[in-house]
Amino acid sequence: MNEDRSTVRRETASLVSRSRREFLRDAAGLVAGGALVQGSPFIRAETVRKKRKVVVVTFGGGARDQETFAPEGQENIPHMLGEMAPQSSFFTHVTNQGILGHYVATASLATGVYETLNNFASVAPEHPTIFEYFRKELRRPSSDAWVVAPSNGFHRIGESEVRGFGPGQGARVILPKRLLGLANSGGTADLEHLLHDNYETPLYTPALAGGEIELQQLEAILKLSVGDFSSHARTLSSPDELSLYIAKRLMREEAPSLLWITMHDIDVAHSGAYSLYIEGIRRTDRLCAELWKTIETEPEYAGNTTMFVLPDFGRDSDFDAGGNGFQHHRTGDAASRTTWMMVLGAGTRRGVVYDTPIQSIDLVPSIGAMMGFSPSQSSGKLIRDLV
Amino acid sequence: MLPGDLKAESFAGYPPQARAIAVEHVEALRRLPIAFAPSLLRELIDYDYKFPIERSTIEKELRALNALSDAQRHEWFGGFESISLSPSLENFNWVNLPAQFVEQEAAYLWSTHQLDAFRKAAKDYGDRLNQLAKPESRKQRRLGIAVVGGGVATYKEPLFRILRKHGTYFTNVSTKDAFKSIVDLVERRAEADPIPYAHWYVDGGRLHPHSEHITSVSYEALAPVRDSLLKRMQSEINRPGMGPEELRTVLARLNPADLGIGADLDPVLSRFQLKLFSEGSGTQIYSTTFAQWATREVLRRAQANTLLVRYAPRQRQRPMNELLAGGRSEAELDPVGSLVDAEMGAYYHWINQQRLPESDRSGFVAWFEGHGEAIAIGPTMPRGTESNSAIGLQELLSLDSA
């Protein structure tokens, strides 16, 4: 019976991914990856590894096919579809077999292991992160790996506590909303709403100690005064726009080789307002395209950067009685576990669709192969179509 | 404690009717696996506050469990018996706090990759129960009515896109006295078949006058309850050591009186109102979410025979730059965003209605309030068609509820 259920799930997920592929082929003129037989573009890339940069964007928190790459969702992602997909290798069938909470799922993406930590606890990933492998094996400084994350709950995403890796050896983490809160402490009470940590538990914000050091980072690293930061924030409409602003400053001032940005506006879906969920998707679509344009124009990044865009997971199907459709990601059904991944830039084939099933934990070993490090404790597999 | 250790005294803390039922069926409960028993007790402990059809369902389930042979029991619960739980879960006070146990069990199942196995066991169990259930023919066909888009003067996007393939899309519906005619119809149905909690009216704004035969809830009338809950949540969050899971535990323990819901109100309805806010996500903030979630719960729990839902404009979400600019303004409304919310809400209304018995006989109408567009779905309505003929809403409803 378990076998039957697995088969049904595989078939459902396969149908989902197939509909994406057919749609992309029609809408963006992409070709199926199975038809390509030439070797990986990364094989000839050994000599440029030292300059290789990778930017990972989680298209979050959680979006379904029917609001993105399925035919009825196309109107919500005009930038990704029209501008980015034709340049990208698109993987239609990415599954997340882990826990569908944003922090734990992002930690799983970053370690290449399905983490089982408490989604709402202030804990480090249980396995070494991609940032630790990267820095340790390639002997990179802390300034070369950064995470831009939306909420206080992500402040420990940059490094594990694993012996041989751990504190001081991972990525530096910047929390733009927290910076905004610090910069505006004593300001308007209305800001409380904006600073709420996540939409799953909308009134809960874990407290973090410190603050002064982080504000000093604004000046020392981002070359940005608190006043300028606050002023610019007043021109932005959402936390993810703020994250992009900070990411662009980081790219300009620090030019990290490994930059990880977690988007989160879409997760407003937990409030149950469908229009806000759609707004979040449209905004994230626009921000991804803006980030790609930045990559293409920043001298340190242009021509040598590979960008990955993938949701951390999907959201519940309309038809699972245990859920409430788009609002949450609690059922563990195929819609909530099956996502996609777009890869574009240096070393990738343009305009190709792959429907080979891959898992979200395959990201870390694949990036490792691109950049020249070995994530020894990851349980993911190399994405052969990519590397 | 394991289910085999259950005794009549174990249920001393239950409300009176729940206790009596539990004691009556203690032998059946003793034979259940630990991975399943608290899920049943979570329903049972609230027996005194359940709708009649829910009570009947619990009684039938317990009778079915009593009647199982050992071999059948093994067949029904083999999937649950293969689930392993932690000692801390087994030692949890799951008899008196079954809802909290189920929350913690869910987290444990996720973290140990047993969720799929649990979901399958639960689905198989539900299918077996459904096979035993004898369909009870209803006097009336079930009817759902969603009224969307109040406050929207013009809207150029195509409406009811997802629903159109399931029914007939009308573009020339007369709006004269339309809402009143809907309420009149619901009243007539309630009077013709006066089953308690079978005929409902949910309003995302203020309730329109209606007969006492209709059970109703509204976002506006429950404003004091919402405010009280939000204040309580804020106060709990500020306590040291409080986290999301602890907060959920606190909310699960709330009684209607804790939020100022009057003791003079029907205890079943007052508990239902409480749960709309303590279990719903976003229901405290957005009226459209309240209306959609209330719809889901009315159908899932009360299995309403008639359900009228009227969506009203929700408050607008203020963007970051406005929040940073400071200054509190009166809550502005977002009619167009609310229409988009409500359109999806209407779709979920129909899906949830289709999950109930005799769905092939049921009818559903969604109407763009104040405008000529409506979608009607039912056995007599051609699918995927459009009608530009002039029709009154009353006539449309009578076509779909006959």
**pLDDT band per the 50, 70, 90 thresholds, residue A3:** very low
Mean pLDDT of B43-54: 96
Query: What's the rounded mean pLDDT across residues A279-302?
Result: 97
Alpha helices in B207-364 (DSSP H): 223-237, 244-252, 267-278, 287-297, 320-325, 335-354
| DSSP class per residue in A317-354 | -TT-TTS-GGG---S--HHHHEEEEEEEETT--SSEEE
Residue A8 has pLDDT above 50, yes or no: no
Chain A stretch 310-339, residues whose beta carbon is closer than 8 A to a beta carbon of chain B: 318-319, 321-322, 324-328, 331-332
Look at residue A4 in the predicted model and tell me its pLDDT.
Answer: 43
Helix (H) or strand (E) holding B146: strand B143-148
The pairing of strands B173-174 and B391-392 is: parallel
Give the closest of A1, A233, A270 to B324, CB-based: A233
The CATH class that applies to domain A53-78+95-325+358-371 reads alpha beta
**Pairs from B257-264 (Cβ < 8 Å, separation ≥ 24):** B258/B228, B258/B232, B259/B225, B259/B228, B259/B229, B259/B232, B260/B224, B260/B225, B260/B228, B261/B225
| Residue of A275, A277, A283, A320 to mutate, interface with B, max B Cβ within 10 Å | A275
Chain A: give the shortest CA distance to residue B17, in Å.
28
pLDDT of residue A230 exceeding 90: no
Q: What is the pLDDT of residues B280-329, one digit of tens each?
A: 989 988 999 999 999 999 999 999 999 999 999 999 887 776 666 665 55
User: Is residue A120 a contact partner of residue B103, using CB atoms and an 8 Å limit?
Assistant: no
pLDDT at A44 over 90: no
| pLDDT tens digits along B201-222 | 999 999 999 999 999 999 999 9
B113: chain A residues, CB-CB within 8 Å: 97, 114
Of the candidates B224, B216, B226, B221, the residue with the CA atom closest to the CA atom of residue B284: B226
Cα angle, residue B384 at apex, residues B378 and B390 outer, rounded to 5°: 75
Please say if the pLDDT value at position A243 is more than 60: yes
Residues A267 and A326: beta-carbon distance below 8 Å: no
For chain A, what is the mean pLDDT? 85
What are the boundaries of each domain within chain A?
Answer: 53-78+95-325+358-371
The reply to whether residue A193 touches residue B323, judged by beta carbons under 8 angstroms, is: yes
Nearest to B319 among A188, A237, A327 (CB): A237
Of B79, B286, B320, the CB nearest to A271: B286
Lowest-confidence pick of B168-177, B196-205, B327-336: B327-336
Question: Each residue of B59-100: pLDDT tens digit?
Answer: 999 999 999 999 999 999 999 999 999 999 999 999 999 988
- For residue B77, which of B174, B15, B18, B3 has the smallest C-alpha distance? B3
A31-32 and A258-262 strand pairing: unpaired
Q: Which residues contact B139 (CB under 8 A, 6 or more apart)?
A: B192, B193
pLDDT band at A48 (very low <50, low <70, confident <90, very high): low
Share of chain A above pLDDT 70, in %: 81
- Tell me whether residues A194 and B285 touch, CB distance under 8 A: no
What's the pLDDT score for residue A231? 86
| Closest CA–CA distance from residue B5 to any residue of chain A (Å) | 30
Rounded to 5 degrees, what are φ and ψ at A386? -100, -40
Task: Give per-residue pLDDT as tens, A145-155.
Answer: 999 998 777 88
Flag whether residue A8 sits within 8 Å of chain B, measured between CB atoms: no
Which candidate from A72, A201, A328 shows the least CB-CB separation from B244?
A: A201
The pLDDT of residue A120 is 74
Q: Among A130, A165, A136, A137, which residue's Cα sits nearest to residue A55?
A: A130
Using a pLDDT cut of 70, give the percent of chain B over it: 97
State phi, psi for A181 to the nearest 5 degrees: -60, -45
Which pLDDT does position A16 carry in this prediction? 55
End-to-end CA distance of chain B: 54
Q: How far apart are CA A311 and CA A73, in angstroms?
A: 15
Enumerate the residues of chain A whose CB falls inside 8 A of the CB of residue B344.
274, 325-326
Chain B interface includes A48 (CB < 8 A): no
| Closest Cα in chain B to A230 | B324
Q: How confident is the model at residue B139 (pLDDT cuts 50, 70, 90)?
A: confident
Q: Is the pLDDT score of B13 beyond 90?
A: yes
* Gyration radius (Cα) of chain A, Å: 20
Beta strand B168-170 pairing with B385-387: parallel
CB contact under 8 A, B281 and A332: no
Determine the pLDDT at residue A47: 45
Nearest to A199 by CA among A101, A65, A114: A101
Q: How many CB atoms neighbour CB A187 within 10 A?
A: 14
| Amino acid A189: pLDDT | 46
pLDDT at A22: 65
Give the residue, B135 or A150, on which the prediction is more confident: A150
Q: Is the pLDDT of residue B135 over 80?
A: no
Q: How far is A351 from chain B (nearest CA, A)?
A: 30
**What's the rounded Cα separation, in Å, for the pair A360 and A127?**
15
Contact A270 B341 (CB under 8 A): no
pLDDT band per the 50, 70, 90 thresholds, residue B116: confident
Task: Give the pLDDT score at A21.
Answer: 58
B314 contacts chain A (CB < 8 A):
yes
State the pLDDT at residue B92: 94
Cα–Cα distance between B231 and B224 in angstroms, integer? 11
Q: Which of B320, B321, B340 to mutate to test the interface with A (most CBs of A within 10 A)?
A: B320
Residue A202 has pLDDT above 80, yes or no: no
The reported pTM is 0.91
* pLDDT tens per residue, range B224-245: 999 899 888 888 877 777 777 7
- In single-letter form, the type of residue at position B249 comes to T
User: Taking Cα atoms as reference points, which of A208, A128, A212, A206 lies closest to residue A171?
Assistant: A128
pLDDT beyond 80 at B147: yes
Give the containing element (helix H, strand E) for A89.
strand A88-95
Look up residue B388 and give its DSSP letter: -
What are phi and psi for residue A38, nearest 5 degrees? -70, 160
Instruction: Output the pLDDT for position A1.
Output: 38
Q: Are B314 and B338 in contact (CB under 8 A)?
A: yes
Say whether pLDDT at B198 is over 90.
yes
Q: Does any CB of chain A come closer than 8 Å to the CB of residue B241?
A: no
Q: Using 50, 70 and 90 to split pLDDT, how confident is the model at A368?
A: very high
Question: In sequence order, which ranges of B112-160 are alpha helices (DSSP H)?
Answer: 115-132
Higher pLDDT, A18 or B174: B174
Tell me the C-alpha to C-alpha distance, in Å, between residue B50 and each of A42, B42, B197: 63, 12, 11
**CB–CB contact A274 B345 (8 Å):** yes
Comparison of pLDDT for A239 and B295, the residue scoring more = B295
pLDDT range class, residue A182, cuts 50, 70, 90 = confident
